Amino acid sequence: MSVTSARAHPNIALVKYWGKSDESANIPATPSVSITLSDLVTETTVETAERDSLVMNGEETADTKIQSFLDLMRTQFDVPPLTIVTDNNFPTGAGLASSASGFAALITALNVHCDLSLDRNQTSIWARRGSASAARSIYGGYVSLSGPEWYARQILTAEHWPLTVVIAIVSEGKKAVSSTRGMRISRETSSFYNAWVASSVDDYRNALEAIDARDFDALARIAESSCLKMHGVMLTSYPTLQYWLEPTLACMNAVRNLREEDIDVFFTIDAGPQVKAVCRSEHTRAVVRALESVPGVVRTLTTGLGQGAE
Ligand code: 2P0
């Protein structure tokens, strides 16, 4: 039987998505802007089988999110039972956007394997229905995701502004609260939630302008502000969503100290404790050295910006 393979890279949001305006269609409440990473990769193979099964990083496993996604696809397309084999070359479910690259790779493989004839926009929409951040991993470089269509668009290729991302791994453990659940808790309980959603519109517009102008300082300000506002919403949710660990804070301070030394770098943090430091390529060594000397940092990963799913 035929086998189809696809690869996709995770992306890191600079203007964050946190909250849904429609849970059943998985429509974000906030527009977002991201960068797709080159050196972190998910490789997924699909093969027609007698029954559905999933092998993730070498282990047969059940994943309700993937199963629900297949069930949803089968309401519209002829998708046979499948064996799905998927591997990440980076920690899974630890705030490194494995669901973004995972669903982007899966829909890209399914599109070919099942002759779905989805164009890029439709592929991005289906990826979004699996996991909204996955819509952005369909494209490489700098990517936006906004309404009313809620498919992703490429803003700029990686080659046009080749920044580097240094990821400080603080913990390889899986996150305690999934993003989907965390977003629901935030919407229902944080008194900052409505202000967060309202402010994301300006952040989004300003980030598009900063990327268009390749204005590092402007992008740094917007990205750190969006990150800190999102974590403000998380921290003021009940039960509180505190994804940071002590080394997370120490890394944020290390990045601020680097900026005092005229190193062009800013941080961003997702639904996990890892700190992603985005810098100009010529400053990579200084950023790696500074983050690796922070107590509690297990290791760093360095990556450039990469391509969309293929
Ligand atoms: C983002 N995150 O924009 C934000 C920042 C986490 C923090 O997108 O519920 O796994 O599957 O649509 O895409 C993580 O959320 O959530 C995420 P679902 P997803 O990258």
DSSP annotation string for 32-83: EEEEEBSS--EEEEEEE-SS-EEEETTEE---HHHHHHHHHHHTTS----EE
Residue 164 shares a structural domain with residue 153 = no
Strands (DSSP E) found in the chain: 3-8, 11-15, 20-22, 27-28, 32-36, 42-48, 53-56, 59-60, 82-88, 142-146, 151-156, 164-169, 265-268, 275-279, 299-303
In ligand 1, the atom with minimum distance to the C-alpha of 11 is: 20
Residue 94 Cα distances to 83, 182, 243, angstroms: 25, 14, 10
Asked if residue 136 belongs to a domain, the reply is: yes
pLDDT tens over the chain, length 310 residues: 689 999 999 999 999 999 999 999 999 999 999 999 999 999 999 999 999 999 999 999 999 999 999 999 999 999 999 999 999 998 776 667 778 999 999 999 999 999 999 999 999 999 999 999 999 999 999 999 999 999 999 999 999 999 999 999 998 877 778 899 999 999 999 999 999 999 999 999 999 999 999 999 999 999 999 999 999 999 999 999 999 999 999 999 999 999 999 999 999 999 999 999 999 999 999 999 999 999 999 999 999 999 999 9
In ligand 1, the atom with minimum distance to the C-alpha of 132 is: 12
Taking CA atoms only, the protein residue closest to ligand 1 atom 11 is: 131
Strands 32-36 and 11-15 come out as: antiparallel
Asked if residue 292 belongs to a domain, the reply is: yes
Asked if residue 308 belongs to a domain, the reply is: no
Judge if pTM exceeds 0.75. yes
Residue 197 shares a structural domain with residue 87 = no
* Distance between Cα 133 and ligand 1 center (Å): 5
Asked if residue 310 belongs to a domain, the reply is: no
Question: What is the identity of the amino acid at 24?
Answer: S
Backbone φ, ψ for residue 133 (5° rounding): -65, -20
The CA dihedral of 75, 78, 84, 86, to the nearest 10 degrees, is -70
pLDDT of residue 111: 98
Asked if residue 226 belongs to a domain, the reply is: yes
The structural domain count of the chain equals 2
In ligand 1, the atom with minimum distance to the C-alpha of 131 is: 11
Residue 110 shares a structural domain with residue 175 = no
User: Does residue 36 contact residue 122 with C-beta atoms inside 8 Å?
Assistant: no
The dihedral sign for the CA sequence 245, 249, 252, 257: negative
Residue 38 shares a structural domain with residue 153 = yes
* Distance between Cα 79 and ligand 1 center (Å): 26
- Closest alpha carbon to 199 in 13, 60, 18: 18
Residue 98 shares a structural domain with residue 43 = yes
Domain that holds residue 218: 160-303
Domain boundary among 127, 157, 187: 157
Beta-carbon contacts of residue 109 (< 8 Å; ≥ 6 apart): 4, 5, 6, 44, 45, 46
Residue 7 shares a structural domain with residue 148 = yes
* Distance between Cα 178 and ligand 1 center (Å): 9
Classify residue 90 by its DSSP letter.
Answer: S
Asked if residue 274 belongs to a domain, the reply is: yes
pLDDT of residue 95: 67
* Distance between Cα 285 and ligand 1 center (Å): 29
Classify residue 215 by its DSSP letter.
Answer: -
* Distance between Cα 253 and ligand 1 center (Å): 25
Residue 185 shares a structural domain with residue 295 = yes
pLDDT of residue 94: 64
Distance of alpha carbon 127 from alpha carbon 28, whole angstroms: 13
Residue 169 shares a structural domain with residue 242 = yes
Asked if residue 178 belongs to a domain, the reply is: yes
CATH number (domain holding residue 150): 3.30.230.10
99: tokens are 């669901």
User: Does residue 271 contact residue 10 with C-beta atoms inside 8 Å?
Assistant: no
Asked if residue 309 belongs to a domain, the reply is: no
* Distance between Cα 36 and ligand 1 center (Å): 14
Domain boundary among 157, 189, 218: 157
* Distance between Cα 250 and ligand 1 center (Å): 24
Residue 196 shares a structural domain with residue 181 = yes
pLDDT of residue 171: 86
Residue 189 shares a structural domain with residue 117 = no
pLDDT of residue 39: 95
Taking CA atoms only, the protein residue closest to ligand 1 atom 15 is: 179
200: tokens are 């994301």
The set of protein residues with a Cβ atom below 6 angstroms from ligand 1 is 13, 16-18, 26, 32, 99, 131-133, 179-180, 270-271
Domain boundary among 139, 157, 175: 157
CATH number (domain holding residue 296): 3.30.70.890
Distance of alpha carbon 202 from alpha carbon 190, whole angstroms: 21
Residue 174 shares a structural domain with residue 71 = no
In ligand 1, the atom with minimum distance to the C-alpha of 134 is: 13
Name the 3-class secondary structure at 272: coil
Residue 29 shares a structural domain with residue 46 = yes
What is the edge-to-edge ordering of all strands in the sheet holding 265-268? 265-268, 275-279, 164-169, 299-303
Taking CA atoms only, the protein residue closest to ligand 1 atom 18 is: 131
